[in-house]
Structure formats: C-alpha cells, structure tokens
Structure 1
Amino acid sequence: MTVQLDPVVQEFVEALNANDQDRFKAVLTDDATMSDDGVERNLTQWTDKEIFGGNGHLEVESAAAGGTELVADYTNSRWGSMRTTWRFTVRDGKVSRFETGQA
C-alpha cells in the first residue's frame, strides 16, 4: 500500500531521509516553527540534533488530512526507533510549521 502525502510533506520526508540539510531547509519557510511533544523548540537546534546529527529516518505508516498528518516510525541514533505523529502546516508551497511527538 502506498501512502499518499501532500507533495510538500513528501519533499520534507524525502529530504529528511536523504539527510540532505540544504534540500530540507529549502522546503521550510524562512519563519518556520516546530514543536516536539507539545513543547516549542528551536527548529535549527532541534533538526541539527535530532535529524541530521542523529541520522534521522522517517518511515511513514499512514497519512490523513490530505497527507499533512502522519503516523510514522522515526529512528535516530539518539533514541532508537519510536512510533510518532507528525502534523504539518503548508503555506505557499513550503512547510511553515510541523509538530511531532510520540504516538
């Protein structure tokens, strides 16, 4: 079964999984924000630590809300693998906010 994602969210996931920081940053608005388990985080610091510094990988399990709300297995070298939720706000063809946390 293929999970249908919003095209912008698809690009976010592909950039994350490719560990491509430039491609990842290109899919975000200049003022993008994020939260982790309901706590606002500094997006640059969080992604450097949890994604790029930790070899993050996102395996999407299911999607809802037009492909902007995901349930996925997220794996990185810091925490191992965990079931997570991801919610994206897409504005002008880019991600302006994402919220993640344990499912």
Structure 2
Amino acid sequence: MPIQTAKLSDPAVRAFVTALNSHDRDAFRAALAPGATMADDGSERDLEDWTSREIFDSHGHMEVEKETAGGRGLVARYRNDTWGEMRTAWRFDVDGGKVTRFETGQA
C-alpha cells in the first residue's frame, strides 16, 4: 500500500517528492539547499543535468512504499518515460528544512 505524499514524515522530503511528482521545477529547486548534491547507484551526478533528464524531461513519478530513518529514507516505485518502472531506494540529508543531498539507486 503506497504512502500518500502528504503523509511523509519529514517536511523537506515531503516537499521534494511533492515537487517531483507535480513536475514543478521551481518547487523542486526550492526544496533543495544551495549547493545540494546527489548520487545515483553510487556515482556522483550533476544534480541539474540528472534531474532534468531523469525527472522533468522524462515525466518521473515516485510512489513511496516505505519510510525509514525518520522519513529520510524511502523505498519507492519510481517510473519515467526512459526506464519504465523500478523499485528504488532514496536517502536524504536535510539541514535547515532543505535537502542538502540525496542518493538513489535500485532497491
């Protein structure tokens, strides 16, 4: 049973997922701290390039199945037009109510 985005525990993670699923680039950027970083499958990625390609240009969508680490870890079914659907794990670092880093990969 998926967890409704509005019920995600961590407000910064909730803002991140809400913006991702609504394809709102401005809200997504607002959920991130200045200088935020990310990794995909253990490799550092350029955040702007990766999010454009994997989220916004390919209609990414996250359906959260489980929260861990007080809401800063998620297991989700992630889908986009490029890769289809896969089970993914997400880990977030948050400071001052903003996501400073996120890491994702196959779960």
TM-score, with normalisation over the residues of structure 2?
0.93
Which among 27, 33, 37 is matched to residue 29 of structure 1?
A: 33
Aligned to 1:39: 43
Instruction: Give secondary structure in 1 for the equivalent of 2:82.
Output: coil
CA shift for structure 1 position 4: 3.6
- Cα shift readout 1:21-45 (whole Å, capped 9, x = no counterpart): 0000001011100000000000000
Among all aligned residue pairs of Structure 1 and Structure 2, give the percentage whose two residues are the same amino acid. 58
CA shift for structure 1 position 72: 0.2
Which among 52, 70, 77 is matched to residue 73 of structure 1?
A: 77
Q: Structure 1: 5+ residue runs without aligned partners?
A: none
Take 1:83 and 1:45, find their aligned partners in 2: how far apart are those partners? 22
After superposing on structure 2, the runs of 4+ consecutive aligned residues of structure 1 that deviate more than 4 Å are none
Take 2:73 and 2:92, find their aligned partners in 1: how far apart are those partners? 6
Q: What pairs with 1:10-21 in structure 2 (closer than 5 Å)?
A: 10-21=14-25
Take 2:9 and 2:85, find their aligned partners in 1: how far apart are those partners? 21
RMSD of Structure 2 on Structure 1 (CA): 1.1
CA shift for structure 1 position 5: 2.6
Take 1:46 and 1:75, find their aligned partners in 2: how far apart are those partners? 15
TM-score, with normalisation over the residues of structure 1?
0.96
